[in-house]
Amino acid sequence: MRKVGLIGGMSWVSTGMYYKWINKAVTARAGSMTSAPLLIESLNFEELYGLTKEDEWDRAADILAGSAKRLKWAGAKAIAIAANSMHRVYDQVAEAVDVPVLHIADAVGSKMKAEGVTDAALIGTRNVMTESFYRKKLVSHGIDLLPPDMPHVERANS
């Protein structure tokens, strides 16, 4: 198995969920005593929470790209970002390292397509629901997305 680097801490709860899901999948494939070879860098979510301005997103990209570089240096052969909203800076992170950076929306889109899902609503943080970085990936897998319900977007982010 290749060692995977996980950029976590956004929040620590989602990082724990990713750790659990990855290990459950590995155990199912390789046996009950097998665990995933993972490197996890848990970032301080306070530095990344509430980003709204373009220069703040540039700073987030620098923070996540730095994390990806450290994980690659430590031996990661692939990297995952353990937060949907931080995939807004996916391109900058992927450009920073010469190992694959997995995009969660590709995995979600592939799974939806495999299960015959063609229509969906996207629920998440404001940027996930309203910006194109996540929506375009799902659409590229043949998923027709409903437009964001702005009253719901505002409730979810209040």
Q: Across the 158 residues of the chain, what is the mean pLDDT of every consecutive 10-residue run?
A: 94 93 95 95 90 84 97 98 94 98 94 94 86 92 89 75
pLDDT score at 119: 94
pLDDT score at 52: 72
pLDDT score at 63: 95
From its phi and psi, is residue 52 left (phi > 0), alpha (psi between -120 and 50) or beta? alpha
pLDDT score at 127: 85
CA distance 9 to 129: 21
- Of 148, 23, 112, which is closest to residue 157 (Cα–Cα)? 148
Report pTM. 0.88
Determine contact, residues 81/46, Cβ cutoff 8 Å.
no
CA distance 49 to 51: 6
CA distance 94 to 74: 17
For the chain, the maximum distance between any two Cα atoms, rounded to a whole number of angstroms, is 47
pLDDT score at 80: 97
